[in-house]
Structure 1
């Protein structure tokens, strides 16, 4: 807490507001929504207790009565965004259902780019996170595997999607910062790479590039990644 030693705990096990006084002016949902708005507009580094308090029109110290630590604020944000998953009734096709979930996660992270920095098992105990996990396990009911392996599948899928989106976002941000077009940048780099490969020092790379796979299809690469992961678990039955 502010001004004191940090204490371990889960915010969901605490009352909505600590301390005495009048009826709480805000809910956790209000606080999370304010923090998400800031992060969406300006990035995660712009989120602070002071900034969120200003967004809500209260004093910074008052906010600590609702959210003891900044880590708790992050957990509220992750929970709110996790609630955007559309948890449809499982179709009995576990591969299709998990691919659908992965696509939703990718879209969600593009809407909230800061989420890739907060994806962690530490924030996996929130109400919406638990509903998400239960939904994924329900989707995996047709897969004959122990729950431990199903949890591995979910974790691996989430980790790969998070890493994939983080790379997409980083590349997009880098492209936006260039004083020339992405096409110009790529042309220069491809020309340099071609000159290096043509020298004979990298025969395997030369053979690979000779196949001319063409421009990278990010959506196609994402589909291939999902397929490879799901194949690995299906083949263990």
Structure 2
């Protein structure tokens, strides 16, 4: 068996990188000693994603996975060396879910492409919230990851920016999406753990905040309208729009140079 990741199992690229790449690209040898009929690498990864979707990464282990698949834990190790490599496969699998377009179908307008990139990634994070728990600083790049990057770069081709800047555009958009998604996920987790809704949580603080506002020590806060922190405001669309505005200014400046 190979070296596993940290205790929480949330780091990709921490296992046997050569084995992960072999599995991702289909170049590794298949199990030769009595594999269980019907057990495939694809089924293993799909089942692992299902467990993580339903119960989170903490619930996922090789033992739990073997139980779900109705096989022995040692049988799984014939397919996947350990949880660290399994995470690499899971990550590439979910990254591939939205990649149904051909490169020729990518929007020609980079603004539309940025909007689609952000909304698609947001949908992926909502479908698989465990992705936010994974440290992807050293991700093993599989077919889906490269395909996603290829389509993203194709959509941004009309911006007229340098190659490092185009990569930075993708990083900026993804970081914005992850930030809001993480806040959204944390709020849901807090409500589930405490049994207290967001509305009830903030309402419990109202008397204290009202006294603070009357103290005169927070004039800017006191001047805010009642709906300043309202849940109806679409922070995602607003923030994404401002990112596009900023990129638009850069693109125009480059075009004039």
RMSD between aligned residues: 2.5
Q: Which residue, 171, 186, 190 being the options, matches 1:174? A: 190
Task: Quote the Cα distance in structure 2 between the aligned partners of 1:139 and 1:79.
Answer: 21
For the residue of structure 1 that corresponds to 2:157, the secondary structure is coil
- Given the two structures, how large is their TM-score scaled by the length of structure 2? 0.80
Q: Secondary structure at the match of 2:158?
A: coil
- 8 Å contact kept, 2:132–2:182: yes
Q: Please, which of 35, 47, 50 is the counterpart of residue 34 of structure 1?
A: 47
Q: Which residue number in structure 2 is paired with residue 185 of structure 1?
A: 201
Note the C-alpha offset of 1:28.
2.3
1:126 is matched with which residue? 142
> Which residues of 2 match residues 25-104 of structure 1 at below 5 A?
25=37, 26-88=39-101, 89-104=105-120
8 Å CA contact 2:21–2:140 kept in 1: the answer is: no
User: 1:187: how far off?
Assistant: 1.9
Report how many aligned residue pairs link the two structures.
Answer: 234
Kept in 2, the 8 Å contact 1:16–1:28? The answer is no
Gap regions ≥5 residues in structure 2: 5-14, 252-257
Deviates more, 1:180-189 or 1:137-146: 180-189
Task: Specify every segment of 5 or more residues in structure 1 that has no aligned partner in the other structure, as ranges.
Answer: none
| Alpha-carbon distance in 2 for matches of 1:186, 1:132 | 39
Closer, same or farther in 2 for the Cα pair 1:180/1:2, shift >3 Å?
closer
User: Which structure carries more relative contact order (alpha carbon 8 Å, separation 6+)?
Assistant: 2
1:215 maps to what in 2? 230
Deviation at 1:144, TM superposition (A): 0.8
TM-score (norm 1): 0.86
Aligned to 2:254: none
